[in-house]
């Protein structure tokens, strides 16, 4: 069933390969500086490397938007996004894969009654705008620099063509790497919470994680899309929007590569943190928007006379239509998969206000009198509970989100053998394992209760009120370990 569920992710990967490779090599192929077969080979190799090396950062951000907690739901979300993209591909319009998968995830949130993390959504949306503007600015600046250098160098046209061709190959490889790192989250990110593959130990120190296996499968699907369909879309960006020369094609490609890398590289983020500079969010941005931004930046630098605004409007309209389409496709498909095919598309969670949870909330200085409206009640939807608490006009949205996390019933049973069976034992230290074994066979009804017991030991403790980026990274790593335990120790008493 795992591989059946993954088919929609592979379909989405194929769609991305068919759609987004044109954003990397469309201009180069259309200007005849590269043959399609060479462009496809470079893209295939470096997209795979980027996905494997640095795909986890953007996936985590996407996961905060909505954590699809059942493989049946992940299958349906990916299928809805892929269907929306395919419709756009059929009419030869490059569409944002990032925006489409976000639309499908929000569709899952609405169907399952979960809240959408609007802070994560705002981070992602602002990054899309920033990426477009950044790409246009970089391309415009690079165009002015390249033009002056070329005019001063007095290169022969044939020499310029040779340098440009090699530049397109090298920068194209960098762009493909950045695309794989940034956009693999769009392909298989929704499957990461479900953890379909076990970690594999390939040697004494070498571990092939289940997430890395997932990224590899997604990358192979992208490669298939490159070779089977991407050539049909290369004309739209490469020629129809604005006529690019080989040199301007090189500039557009370099601008795209830089922007994709900036929003994907964990190493760059860590370097900025080390230098005490503002960290850049690791977010899956739209390569379609980025390359169009680069083309627009070049066009504006050249006076903006030959921009084909009808093509730009067509592409821009698709960026709005595709995520809306994915939202509705996702909602309808989830209903069908759950009610017609009787597959689980979400965990059935409840939210209970009892003496334990209310006592814990009061201990955290929540208004006890305001909680009287829900005390003793049970809810089956985050959205319903949110509306009820909001009606009190006492709690802030952040406090409501905190209350929901506390009252969520999430049965857990500690079984450290599962860590070995699932290949996850390498994700925790020996000291953490020993301390976890002290809770062996104990059951918990709430995540916070389990965390309270475990965090009494130093190796599982979070830093309260982290101030520095180093402390935030420490807490982030610890929270990822807790999320791993929540998934593996989830226990449904009826099963």
Kindly report the CA angle at 66 between 62 and 70, in degrees rounded to 5?
A: 110
> In the chain, what percentage of residues exceed pLDDT 90?
46
CA-to-CA separations, 19 to 44, 440, 455, 487, in angstroms, rounded: 14, 49, 46, 34
**pLDDT tens digits along 149-169:** 998 888 888 898 889 889 989
CA–CA dist 177, 267 (Å, integer): 14
Q: Domain check: are 34 and 129 in the same one?
A: yes
Residue 344 lies in a domain: no
Longest dimension (CA), the chain: 82
Report pLDDT for 232. Answer: 66
Residue 495 lies in a domain: no
**pLDDT tens digits along 201-235:** 776 667 788 888 999 999 999 999 988 877 766 65
**pLDDT tens digits along 164-176:** 889 989 999 999 9
Q: Domain check: are 132 and 172 in the same one?
A: yes
Residue 472 lies in a domain: yes
Nearest to 477 by CA among 489, 461, 465: 461
**Do the beta carbons of residue 168 and residue 251 sit within 8 Å?**
no
In a 3-state reduction of DSSP, which class is residue 352?
strand
pTM: 0.85
Report pLDDT for 495. Answer: 45
**Do the beta carbons of residue 181 and residue 187 sit within 8 Å?**
no
**pLDDT tens digits along 17-70:** 887 777 788 767 877 778 888 888 999 999 999 999 888 777 777 877 888 988
Report pLDDT for 173. Answer: 93
Q: Domain check: are 29 and 105 in the same one?
A: yes
Q: Domain check: are 327 and 451 in the same one?
A: no
Kindly report the CA angle at 281 between 279 and 282, in degrees rounded to 5?
A: 120
Between 242 and 467, name the one with better pLDDT: 467
**Do the beta carbons of residue 44 and residue 110 sit within 8 Å?**
no
Q: Domain check: are 162 and 87 in the same one?
A: yes
CA–CA dist 94, 28 (Å, integer): 16
Q: Domain check: are 31 and 91 in the same one?
A: yes
Residues 6 or more apart from 477 whose CB is under 8 A from it?
Answer: none
**pLDDT tens digits along 263-286:** 999 888 888 877 888 888 888 898
Q: Residue 274 corresponds to which tokens in the numbers above?
A: 């080390």
Report pLDDT for 240. Answer: 55
Report pLDDT for 481. Answer: 92
Q: Which DSSP letter does residue 92 get?
A: T
First to last CA, the chain: 18
Task: Lowest mean pLDDT of 246-260, 270-284, 328-342, name the range.
Answer: 270-284
Q: Domain check: are 114 and 173 in the same one?
A: yes
CA–CA dist 70, 290 (Å, integer): 32
Count of structural domains within the chain: 3
- Residue 381 lies in domain: 350-409
CA–CA dist 361, 148 (Å, integer): 65
In a 3-state reduction of DSSP, which class is residue 408?
strand
Report pLDDT for 177. Answer: 95
Please, how many CA atoms are within 13 Å of residue 141, restricted to the half-sphere of its CB?
8
**Do the beta carbons of residue 12 and residue 184 sit within 8 Å?**
no
Report pLDDT for 461. Answer: 94
Residue 287 lies in a domain: yes
Q: What is the mean pLDDT of residues 102-108?
A: 95
Residue 292 lies in a domain: yes
**Do the beta carbons of residue 221 and residue 17 sit within 8 Å?**
yes
- pLDDT at residue 319 is higher than 70: yes
């Amino acid at each position: 069933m795992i591989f059946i569920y993954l088919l929609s992710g592979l379909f989405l990967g194929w769609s991305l390969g068919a759609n987004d490779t044109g954003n990397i090599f469309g201009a180069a192929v259309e200007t005849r500086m590269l043959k399609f077969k060479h462009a496809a080979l470079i893209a295939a190799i470096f997209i795979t490397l980027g996905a494997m090396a640095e795909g986890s950062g953007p996936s985590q951000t996407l996961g905060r938007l909505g954590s699809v907690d059942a493989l049946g739901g992940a299958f349906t979300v990916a299928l809805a996004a892929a269907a929306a993209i395919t419709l756009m591909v059929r009419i030869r319009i490059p569409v944002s894969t990032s925006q489409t998968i976000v639309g499908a995830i929000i569709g899952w949130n609405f169907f399952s009654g979960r809240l959408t993390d609007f802070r994560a959504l705002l981070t992602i949306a602002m990054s899309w705008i920033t990426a477009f503007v950044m790409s246009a600015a970089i391309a415009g600046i690079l165009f002015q620099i390249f033009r002056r250098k070329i005019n001063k160098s007095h290169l022969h046209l044939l020499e310029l063509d040779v340098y440009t061709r090699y530049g397109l190959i090298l920068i194209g490889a960098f762009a493909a790497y950045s695309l794989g790192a940034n956009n693999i989250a769009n392909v298989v990110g929704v499957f990461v919470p479900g953890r379909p593959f076990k970690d594999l130990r390939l040697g004494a120190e070498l571990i092939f994680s289940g997430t890395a296996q997932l990224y590899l499968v997604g990358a192979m699907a992208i490669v298939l899309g490159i070779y089977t369909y991407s050539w049909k879309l290369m004309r739209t960006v490469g020629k129809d929007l604005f006529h690019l020369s080989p040199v301007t094609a090189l500039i557009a490609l370099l601008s795209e590569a830089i922007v994709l890398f900036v929003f994907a590289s964990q190493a760059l983020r860590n370097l900025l943190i080390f230098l005490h500079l503002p960290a850049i969010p690791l977010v899956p941005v739209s390569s379609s928007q980025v390359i169009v931004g680069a083309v627009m930046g070049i066009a504006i630098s050249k006076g903006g006379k030959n921009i084909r605004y009808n093509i730009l409007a067509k592409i821009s309209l698709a960026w709005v239509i595709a995520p809306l389409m994915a939202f509705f496709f996702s909602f309808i498909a989830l209903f069908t998969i759950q009610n017609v095919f009787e597959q689980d598309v979400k965990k059935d969670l409840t939210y209970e206000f009892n003496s334990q949870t209310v006592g814990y909330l009061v201990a955290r200085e929540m208004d006890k009198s305001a909680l009287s409206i829900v005390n003793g009640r049970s809810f089956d939807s985050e959205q319903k509970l949110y509306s009820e608490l909001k009606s009190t006009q006492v709690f802030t949205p952040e406090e409501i989100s905190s209350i929901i996390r506390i009252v969520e019933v999430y049965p857990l049973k500690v079984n450290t053998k599962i860590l070995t069976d699932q290949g996850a034992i390498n994700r925790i230290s020996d000291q953490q394992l020993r301390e976890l074994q002290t809770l062996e066979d104990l059951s918990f009804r709430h995540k916070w209760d389990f965390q309270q017991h475990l965090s009494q030991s130093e190796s599982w403790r979070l830093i309260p009120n982290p101030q520095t980026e180093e402390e935030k990274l420490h807490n982030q790593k610890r929270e990822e370990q807790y999320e791993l335990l929540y998934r593996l120790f989830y226990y449904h008493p009826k099963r």
